Amino acid sequence: MREVESVALPPHALLAAYRARQAYTDCFVTELPRTAGLAEYVEAFYTTPLFKLERALLGLFARRPATDAQARELGQGVVSRFSAWSVEERDADQILLCDFMGSTRSWLMCEPAGDAARPATRLYFGSAVVPRRGSAEAGKPAFGFAFHALQGFHLAYSRALLRAAQARLSRAPRP
């Protein structure tokens, strides 16, 4: 199983618009040794035990609970809201979600990899943090103390979330 790697954001990524606006962006990728579509990936990502912990905290502290059924509906494009997020943009292979405060974005994308003999799917996960308004000096984006204090945790957590989704998809029966 391929490791999770930090990579440059693909130019066609829906999240790329935020990098162009000087938001903080990151991008992680791993590979699944089979074919998977966006609906399956989104459902797997948001139903891992690790993400269920985040969902429980959001339900408790932000009063924005979510269920596995809602994660499946998000993946299928049936709903446009999921816990603390709403769909900002979506296409056949990727989805961009905005948090309810408009401060962060979460992005998932899958694309075919491998070949006919060895099909695979490249799974991407990335985030954007929008700089605080009116606080930039000399054209540089400004981020708050919490952003800098939690950045190491965020990077480790992002890798763990993608690894958990990859593991869940690797164990799932193929559709």
**Mean pLDDT within 128-147:** 74
pLDDT for the residue numbered 106: 98
Q: Which residue has the tokens 């499946």?
A: 72
The CATH number of the domain holding residue 72 is 3.30.530
- The torsion of the CA quartet 134, 136, 142, 144, rounded to 10 degrees, works out to -40
Range of the domain at 50: 5-171
- The tally of domains found in the chain comes to 1
| 80-98 pLDDT tens trace | 999 999 999 999 999 999 9
Half-sphere exposure of 17 (CA within 13 A, CB side): 7
Tokens coding 85: 């997020």
Tokens coding 20: 């162009």
Give the pLDDT band of residue 15 (cuts 50, 70, 90): very high
State what percent of residues in the chain have pLDDT above 90: 80
| Residue 49 contacts residue 13 (beta carbons within 8 Å) | no
Those residues whose C-beta lies under 8 Å from the C-beta of residue 66, and which sit 6 or more positions away, are 46, 55, 58, 59, 82, 83
Global pTM reads: 0.92
